[in-house]
């Protein structure tokens, strides 16, 4: 006599067929039957390379399930908004529908005005660029790129390759330059007057190069944010300033659109908060050492 399986028990091999239960057929095993709901695909060569690099960085042996699963999800970190998306989001925050081509035109104009406001707020790290001006014998004045806001730092460079040497050149004011008695003197430049003119900034070095070496004026400038033109293009800002730009445009547009004054005040507060968060993050994080100096009486 066969042992009882209990009241009403049915052998798995004799259970009624059911969708997804084909593994219980006579002679079948769960691990021998393909998963009917499986939708995953083999990793591509690019995904495998990414998983291998992630495992190496974490000190894990490869292959392993953790890094393969992460690579298989194809996670990205490249979210951005083009100009049209920024404008659309700003109008939604104002509670107003974007309806006409003129709405897009006036929003782009406000964006360009806002980038000028950002330039007046101070230093933005992503706008710092290095430039080089070869100095000519006896020439003291040189033009800088027209989109230059200001020069952050500067040196005089001599030599090439392993013989290269950067020498400090001091920035002076117009008053200091005016008091120099012989402005036609020649030698290695040691001072520079940076003229922030309306159309194109200009530098004046003193003394004028004497030609004994190939002098180069190497500088680090803050440039202007690129103008907003086409709607499908991305704004000339890093991702951490996206929310600040959206909030700022929403506030700017609230001054033109029929928006409740209370809502306008809220938009302004949100703009200042988002801008403060972005500016706090956009800063130099190098160590700074302060050494006290005590002079004798």
pLDDT at 95: 95
The continuous run of DSSP H or E covering 45 comes out as: helix 45-58
At residue 211 the predicted structure's pLDDT band, cuts being 50, 70 and 90, is confident
Task: Check pLDDT > 70 for residue 10.
Answer: no
How far is it, in rounded angstroms, from Cα 247 to Cα 133?
Answer: 39
- Mean pLDDT, rounded, of the chain: 87
pLDDT at 288: 75
SS3 state of residue 285:
coil
At residue 229 the predicted structure's pLDDT band, cuts being 50, 70 and 90, is confident
Burial grade of 266 (CB within 10 A; 0-12, 13-18, 19 or more)? middle
pLDDT at 45: 84
At residue 11 the predicted structure's pLDDT band, cuts being 50, 70 and 90, is low
Q: Both ends of the chain: CA-CA distance in Å? A: 113
pLDDT at 51: 86
Rounded to a whole number of angstroms, the CA Rg of the chain reads: 33
**And the tokens for 218?**
């190497």
pLDDT at 96: 95
pLDDT exceeding 90 applies to what percent of the chain? 64
pTM exceeds 0.85, yes or no: no
pLDDT at 138: 94
Phi-psi bin for 130: left (phi > 0), alpha (psi -120 to 50), beta?
Answer: beta
pLDDT at 50: 85
Task: Check pLDDT > 90 for residue 276.
Answer: yes
Angle at 201 between CA 195 and CA 205, to 5 degrees: 55
Task: Check pLDDT > 80 for residue 40.
Answer: no
At residue 256 the predicted structure's pLDDT band, cuts being 50, 70 and 90, is very high
How far is it, in rounded angstroms, from Cα 132 to Cα 130?
Answer: 7
Least confident of 99-108, 204-213, 282-291: 282-291
**And the tokens for 173?**
């004011």
Question: Of 230 and 34, which is predicted with more confidence?
Answer: 230
3-state secondary structure 90-140: HHHHHCCCCCCHHHHHHHHHHHHHHHHHHHHHCCCHHHEEEEEEECCCCCC
pLDDT, tens digit (0-9, with 9 covering 90-100), for 104-135:
999 999 999 999 999 999 889 999 999 999 99
Task: Check pLDDT > 70 for residue 24.
Answer: no
The continuous run of DSSP H or E covering 216 comes out as: strand 216-223
Task: Check pLDDT > 70 for residue 63.
Answer: yes
């Amino acid at each position: 006599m066969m042992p009882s399986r209990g009241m009403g028990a049915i052998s798995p091999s004799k259970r009624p067929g059911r969708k997804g239960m084909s593994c219980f057929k006579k002679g079948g095993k769960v691990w021998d039957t393909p998963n009917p709901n499986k939708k995953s695909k083999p990793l591509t060569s690019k995904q495998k390379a990414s998983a291998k690099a992630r495992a190496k960085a974490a000190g894990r042996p490869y292959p392993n399930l953790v890094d393969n699963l992460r690579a298989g999800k194809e996670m990205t970190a490249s979210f951005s908004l083009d100009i049209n998306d920024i404008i659309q989001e700003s109008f939604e925050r104002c509670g107003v529908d974007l309806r006409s081509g003129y709405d897009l035109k006036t929003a782009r104009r406000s964006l360009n005005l806002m980038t000028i406001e950002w330039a007046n707020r101070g230093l933005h790290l992503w706008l710092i660029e290095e430039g080089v001006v070869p100095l000519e014998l006896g020439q003291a004045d040189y033009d800088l790129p027209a989109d230059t806001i200001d020069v952050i730092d500067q040196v005089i460079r001599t030599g090439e390759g392993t013989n290269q040497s950067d020498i400090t050149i001091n920035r002076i004011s117009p008053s200091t330059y005016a008091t120099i008695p012989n402005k036609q003197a020649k030698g290695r430049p040691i001072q520079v007057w940076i003229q922030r003119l309306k159309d194109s900034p200009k530098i004046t070095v003193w003394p004028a190069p004497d030609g004994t070496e190939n002098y180069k004026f190497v500088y680090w400038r803050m440039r202007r944010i690129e103008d907003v033109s086409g709607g499908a293009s991305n704004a000339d800002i890093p991702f951490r300033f996206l929310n600040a730009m959206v909030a700022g445009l929403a506030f700017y547009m609230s001054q033109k659109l029929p928006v409740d004054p209370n809502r306008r005040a809220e938009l302004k507060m949100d703009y200042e908060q988002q801008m403060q968060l972005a500016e706090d993050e956009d800063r130099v994080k190098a160590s700074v050492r302060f050494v006290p100096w005590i002079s004798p009486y």
